[in-house]
Amino acid sequence: MKSTLSAIIVEDEEPAQDLLKNYITKTKWLECSGVCDDAMQALSVLHKQKADIVFLDVQMPQMSG
């Protein structure tokens, strides 16, 4: 069994990104494997790498979460 889970943050507001990164850093069984500013960037990242958890903003420009 994996000791840590990988998480990707999809959020267009930097303060919210920072808050989520801080929470992930404080959670021993989570590691942040990427931060995306929009859903299109997230789709590209997720095609290249696996993520166990995605923290997803629902209201974003271009394409909603």
Which residues is 30 bridged to in the sheet? 5
Question: pLDDT digit string (tens) for 46-61?
Answer: 999 999 999 999 877 7
Secondary structure of residue 11 in the 3-state scheme: coil
Spatial strand order in the sheet of 30-36:
30-36, 5-10, 53-56
Question: pLDDT digit string (tens) for 7-45?
Answer: 999 999 999 999 999 999 999 999 999 999 988 899 999
Q: What pLDDT does 58 receive?
A: 84
The structure's pTM equals 0.88
